[in-house]
Structure 1
Amino acid sequence: LVATADALVENFRPGVMNRLGLGHEKLKEVRPGLVYCAISGFGQTGPMRGNPAYDQIIQGLSGIMSITGTPETAPLRVGYPVADTLGGLVGAFAIAAALVKQKTKGEGAFLDVSMLECTLSALGWPVSNYLTAGVEPKPMGNENMTAAPSGAFRTGKGLLNIAANKQEQFVTLCGLIGRPELASDTRFAERETRKQNRAALKVLIEDALGSASAATWEEKLNRAGVPAGRVLTIPQVLEEPQVTERGMATSFEGMSGMDRPLTVVRGGFMVDGVAPTPTAPPPRLGEHTDEVFAALPGRGTSRAQA
């Protein structure tokens, strides 16, 4: 398999592939131009290199949990395996870059991807604010430390995210909710004073938003150029016209062992206006083993079954 491969991905702890006789140096002998991507919790070097890691371990160590939630509830785990996801995405980007080198220069690469480092790099401003300005990130719940009003607000029905980050957006928001005087209130007139008095401002905005539903306000605010969006559940967003019209989900009928269609989602991009939708359902374990081995020189079904 390696002799015919452009890239190999593994996510064992450092040293495991070497013990199996499948380390980078060994496989380079078989395929000199191989792009070898090793994804691990902490990377191939350092004092934690041998530690086992799952997503939540990385979430805690990376600082993500310390800034997730409110001051009363933090630290909290993010609601999906964000560190696992980032490790895979960074690994894919690194492989794509290394394949360009492979195709142009015929050279392979050893890619050492650390989930901890991937997560730290994705933290963006919480890390950079601390490194450049000494500002220690704090949990703020649904509030945005960089601006106000910018967060989740109660309406007459449902939660609504509003990000009136620019001065003109704040002035427009005040007019739309029937409270134009808030824009000239000394507590809220400037960006920094709004941040200092965000709690009082939120009470006043929520009082005005109580007159209509989140859906109604979402349409009204967006139409006027104030970014706003309802807070939806996963089932709700999958039914949104924006998602369904762009073909985000694909269903496969007649799946063995299932009493309903199997539905999967595609990647979040289009190519020249065309969605790269899946053409087949996820394979069953071992479904293509014989096919893959049969295509290798000197191999056959007997080898695959062995």
Structure 2
Amino acid sequence: MTSPTPAMALSHLRVIDLTRVRAGPTCCRLFADFGADVIQVAATDGADPNSSVTGNRLGSDSQNLHRNKRSIALNLKTPDGLKILMGLVKTADVVVENFRPDVKDRLGFSYEQLAAVNPRIILASISGFGQTGPYAKRAGFDQIAQGMGGLMSVTGEVGGGPMRAGIAVADSSAGNYAAIGILVALAERERSGKGQWVQTSLLQAMIAMTDFQAASYLVEGRVPQTAGNDHPVTTPMGVLPTADGHINIGVGGEGQWASFCKAIARPDLQADPRYCAQERRYHNRAELMGELATIFRTRNSAEWTEVLTAANVPVGPIYSMDQVFGDAQVEHVGIAAPLSHSELGDIHLVGSPLTLSRTPPSVRTEAPRPGEHTMAILKDLGIADGEIESMQAAGAI
């Protein structure tokens, strides 16, 4: 098996990436960043009418999602294309797909069919709503899952109507949950020697991400509402205006409340019967945040950040994306990963948020051109030149 980075944590694994859009590529990227041989299966020209959803190959999104991978172009609707896929499955540890649930059955690579070729294979399926059930065949997108999973009902200003989160939280979390499931299955395979089918969906991932809001309904029967920029429980925790912008503050308990009042030179607030306990602060939140807004407008964000940090009160600026990557701590953790690109020149991608002391992840290679490694991969499988020519003539590759 070809292993591009033998010293890396997952260099012993081969992952077949049958995914599109974001959730699936996010899952596979994690394995690629840790050195797995991730083979992205792209569609041959004209074989997939929805291939445009993957975006411009040289665009920032595609480069970020598909770095560190290799690519083979197959028409899975042809017998030879499916034959090549099954040949890859024999050599692989993991297959990841995010087609609608019926597609893999129709094309011939269901879990049962993959396991017949390789009993150790782990299939990870990411769908919109689940592999079975009344919505199984529906198309699923991030914003649809945000709405159905409850996130939009608790996001936005009070009384302002539902609001989507500004990031693809359902897609990204589903991809990360799928990766966790694969890693669990790989660990279990060490004991049993058998693969299994890992499943998640945008809907399930979104509900899981709502976490304590979902639990408050399930356990207490309480339906959470929007709270704007305020924390739904703890007060004061939220956004305050300053002389030159806004900052976030977080006062998590009575000790921090005392430190906060002292730091802003308002010890009277601590003793005020409206604010002397968390429950009272929550009940009188609008009044308290109004008073604090008046106080915080007297200094700029940097000054307040310095004052509260010195008092061990959680505080932070609210950055635009250019300010994010100009921050000293962001520069220190190195999450803007440099890459020398053959066409784009020197660029940076979003690096892994994980740090491992011995076997760290890395950004090593640019996103491949669709089918860039087709010939090398076919020869690696032992397919002769004459057979490759026949497959080309049949439109399978």
Among 206, 215, 237, the residue aligned to 1:150: 237
TM-score, normalised via structure 2 length: 0.73
Amino acid at match of 1:213: N
Amino acid at match of 1:9: V
CA shift for structure 1 position 171: 1.2
Residue by residue over 1:130-166, the C-alpha shift from the partner in whole angstroms, topping out at 9 and shown as x without a partner, is: 1111111101110112111111111111211111121
Contact 1:67 1:140 in 2 (8 A): yes
Among 91, 110, 114, the residue aligned to 1:4: 91
Contact 1:174 1:182 in 2 (8 A): yes
CA shift for structure 1 position 18: 0.8
Residue by residue over 1:153-203, the C-alpha shift from the partner in whole angstroms, topping out at 9 and shown as x without a partner, is: 111112111111211111111111121100000100111000011111111
1:272 equivalent in structure 2: 357
State how far apart, in whole Å, the 1-side matches of 2:310 and 2:360 are.
Answer: 27
1:281 equivalent in structure 2: 366
Contact 1:161 1:228 in 2 (8 A): yes
Contact 2:173 2:206 in 1 (8 A): yes
Q: Secondary structure at the residue paired with 2:225?
A: coil
Contact 1:148 1:191 in 2 (8 A): yes
CA 1:210 to 1:274, structure 2 compared with 1: closer, same or farther past 3 Å? farther
CA shift for structure 1 position 99: 0.7
CA shift for structure 1 position 251: 2.3
Q: Secondary structure at the residue paired with 2:248?
A: strand
CA 1:196 to 1:268, structure 2 compared with 1: closer, same or farther past 3 Å? same
CA shift for structure 1 position 223: 2.2
2:297 corresponds to 1:297: no
2:24 equivalent in structure 1: none
CA 1:71 to 1:89, structure 2 compared with 1: closer, same or farther past 3 Å? same
CA shift for structure 1 position 73: 2.3
2:166 corresponds to 1:79: yes
CA shift for structure 1 position 104: 2.6
Residue by residue over 1:224-265, the C-alpha shift from the partner in whole angstroms, topping out at 9 and shown as x without a partner, is: 110011111111111111111121112234531x3x532102
Sequence identity (%) = 34
1:194 equivalent in structure 2: 281
Among 254, 261, 275, the residue aligned to 2:346: 261
Contact 1:68 1:140 in 2 (8 A): yes
2:77 equivalent in structure 1: none
Contact 1:246 1:275 in 2 (8 A): no
State how far apart, in whole Å, the 1-side matches of 2:264 and 2:359 are.
Answer: 40
Q: Secondary structure at the residue paired with 1:261?
A: strand
Contact 1:65 1:78 in 2 (8 A): yes
Contact 1:39 1:115 in 2 (8 A): yes
Amino acid at match of 2:349: V
2:137 corresponds to 1:33: no
CA shift for structure 1 position 292: 2.1
Contact 2:155 2:162 in 1 (8 A): yes
Contact 1:178 1:208 in 2 (8 A): no
State how far apart, in whole Å, the 2-side matches of 1:133 and 1:154 are.
Answer: 34
Among 106, 109, 115, the residue aligned to 1:22: 109
Q: Secondary structure at the residue paired with 1:222?
A: helix
CA 1:200 to 1:6, structure 2 compared with 1: closer, same or farther past 3 Å? same
State how far apart, in whole Å, the 1-side matches of 2:258 and 2:353 are.
Answer: 34
Residue by residue over 1:54-101, the C-alpha shift from the partner in whole angstroms, topping out at 9 and shown as x without a partner, is: 111111111111111012323011101110011101100000000112
Q: Secondary structure at the residue paired with 1:78?
A: coil
State how far apart, in whole Å, the 2-side matches of 1:275 and 1:235 are.
Answer: 26
Amino acid at match of 1:290: M
CA shift for structure 1 position 291: 2.3
Contact 1:155 1:213 in 2 (8 A): yes
State how far apart, in whole Å, the 2-side matches of 1:155 and 1:186 are.
Answer: 26
Among 145, 168, 172, the residue aligned to 1:58: 145
1:131 equivalent in structure 2: 218
State how far apart, in whole Å, the 2-side matches of 1:145 and 1:181 are.
Answer: 25
Residue by residue over 1:16-56, the C-alpha shift from the partner in whole angstroms, topping out at 9 and shown as x without a partner, is: 11100111111111111110111101111111111111111
Q: Pairwise CA RMSD of aligned residues?
A: 1.7
Q: Secondary structure at the residue paired with 2:143?
A: helix
1:221 equivalent in structure 2: 308
2:315 corresponds to 1:233: no
What 5-or-longer segments of structure 1 have no aligned partner?
none
State how far apart, in whole Å, the 2-side matches of 1:249 and 1:104 are.
Answer: 38
Contact 1:67 1:74 in 2 (8 A): no
2:16 equivalent in structure 1: none
State how far apart, in whole Å, the 2-side matches of 1:291 and 1:235 are.
Answer: 40
What 5-or-longer segments of structure 2 have no aligned partner?
1-87
CA 1:156 to 1:225, structure 2 compared with 1: closer, same or farther past 3 Å? same
State how far apart, in whole Å, the 2-side matches of 1:11 and 1:275 are.
Answer: 27
Amino acid at match of 1:302: I
CA shift for structure 1 position 275: 5.1
**Larger deviation, residues 291-300 vs 78-87:** 291-300
Contact 2:338 2:363 in 1 (8 A): no
